[in-house]
Structure 1
């Protein structure tokens, strides 16, 4: 009987994995209740069992009169917050070790940002309903943030003392936004003779957490278009081997950024 139970448990675990369920780690395996806190509406949706993400989205839409921006919807797992905090701490420690003007500017930009564990999941309700692998079972505690469509993109760069936003412009691509960046901060103005920065590569972080590095953006024929609310991160140059992955780590950390 013990052997049978062990085999049955293994089969159930495999089945749950293929079903794409997002099980909350702070709940026991027998817990089926699910609660979803709508952060903007301050409403809690309670379910007495595991629930499909499509049902949660459908129920959620009925609690807002605003036009929801699907790419900006965030399914947040509060019990995984420590994972994001660890990523942030490692990034800040590496920047402190570099101790350059650019690194210190990024420390100032990243230190006070609100980072949460956003599940990487499809959030377009029609796609969720139609594609089974995009419609996981949820159990445990989650938060759901419903975004309206932003009219800006945000820039992060060690060449500036603060991150800042730029208005979203029709038909603009990454090269256009980068070419329109303002002059350096006062420290850099003294070093460069008031010249504008010239960037050849940048990270793009889309609001749905897609992230990629665009190279040779001044000359390449590839056009990189940004969705409303996207981030541009101008990577640090000439990193030592010890911190060769720091730009990648910063770009992926920004996928967890949540507007306060």
Structure 2
């Protein structure tokens, strides 16, 4: 009997210590099993159709699924100017941007950095290559058009969003959604030989089965433009490199509403990322 007493005392002390530690942990550590109580803001989606300046505001008290926004878009589209002549929507070229103030300011800084570099290059070549200098000034002006925000590279076809849960994100905050009907043109951005050009983009009629080389035959690139390849930004924002030299060209389809960018060469030190930055800006632009 006496030999068991020390063990009973030790067991009691251990039990007491565990109770004290458990109580302390309960008071001092967060309850991770509780649901997320983060407060969300209302959600606003500015809806536009094609290039119309008129917009419709879709408002939600909290986070909303993309599927719901697309359903509401289709239900309210009749309130916007009917300039689509009954044509179906071209979801492949429709675009969603995050457009809160902080995001738009960040995009403006990226835009300003690219424009500044193009202007500096135009000054660099002002005397030695005046035509190139003029073309770069025009390109800089064209890229200065304000951006709606930061593009969200996300399928917008309602049927696709419905069947793929990972393509149906929750939206919270401020957004802009531009839905379009299928354009019949593509756009080309490059250093081009057009003395009277006032806009850095050239619009060319889209032709089925035309490739990058076919479209380039309709413009006159300057000597600083790349001779071997260009970048094609498909309407959904996907970027592809298309070969254009006689020794490496192969056919790749280009969709209606695509943007073609012919990169600059012979860039001075410090401008190595300029082409990449221009492509990133072009991906953000509405068509």
Output the TM-score relative to the length of structure 2.
0.72
Q: Residue 135 of structure 1 aligns with which residue?
A: 168
| Aligned-pair CA distance for 1:12 | 4.8
2:241 is the counterpart of 1:213: yes
- Summarize the Cα distance change of 1:32–1:103 in structure 2 as closer, same or farther, 3 Å threshold: closer
- Give the conservation status (yes or no) of the 8 Å contact 1:202–1:233: yes
2:74 is the counterpart of 1:53: no
Q: Residue 283 of structure 2 aligns with which residue?
A: 255
Correspondence 1:141-160 to 2 at 5 A: 141-160=174-193
Q: 5+ unaligned residues in a row in structure 2: which ranges? A: 1-26, 79-85, 126-132
Q: Residue 23 of structure 1 aligns with which residue?
A: none
- Summarize the Cα distance change of 1:2–1:137 in structure 2 as closer, same or farther, 3 Å threshold: farther
- Give the conservation status (yes or no) of the 8 Å contact 1:109–1:156: no
RMSD, aligned CA = 2.6
Q: 1:90 aligns with which of 90, 99, 113?
A: 113
Q: Render the CA deviation track for 1:164-197: whole Å, top value 9, x for unaligned.
A: 100011111112112x22346xxx7xxx9xxxx9
2:144 is the counterpart of 1:115: no
Q: SS where residue 133 of structure 1 aligns?
A: helix
Q: Residue 182 of structure 1 aligns with which residue?
A: 219
Aligned length: 230
Correspondence 1:31-110 to 2 at 5 A: 31-40=40-49, 42-64=55-77, 66=86, 67-79=88-100, 80-99=103-122, 100=125, 101=133, 102-110=135-143
| Aligned-pair CA distance for 1:75 | 1.3
2:29 is the counterpart of 1:3: yes
Q: Residue 4 of structure 2 aligns with which residue?
A: none
| Aligned-pair CA distance for 1:89 | 0.7
| Aligned-pair CA distance for 1:4 | 1.1
- Give the conservation status (yes or no) of the 8 Å contact 2:213–2:244: no
Q: Using CA pairs below 8 Å that are at least 6 residues apart, which structure has the higher relative contact order?
A: 1
- Give the conservation status (yes or no) of the 8 Å contact 2:229–2:245: yes
| Aligned-pair CA distance for 1:198 | 8.5
CA distance in 2, matches of 1:44, 1:109: 28
Q: Render the CA deviation track for 1:100-135: whole Å, top value 9, x for unaligned.
A: 324323213323x24222211111221111111111
- Give the conservation status (yes or no) of the 8 Å contact 1:156–1:164: yes
Q: Render the CA deviation track for 1:146-180: whole Å, top value 9, x for unaligned.
A: 111100000111124432100011111112112x2
| Aligned-pair CA distance for 1:32 | 4.9
2:227 is the counterpart of 1:199: yes
| Aligned-pair CA distance for 1:220 | 2.5
- Give the conservation status (yes or no) of the 8 Å contact 1:50–1:137: yes
Q: 5+ unaligned residues in a row in structure 1: which ranges? A: 14-28
CA distance in 1, matches of 2:183, 2:227: 25
CA distance in 1, matches of 2:167, 2:72: 17
Output the TM-score relative to the length of structure 1.
0.78
- Give the conservation status (yes or no) of the 8 Å contact 1:199–1:218: no
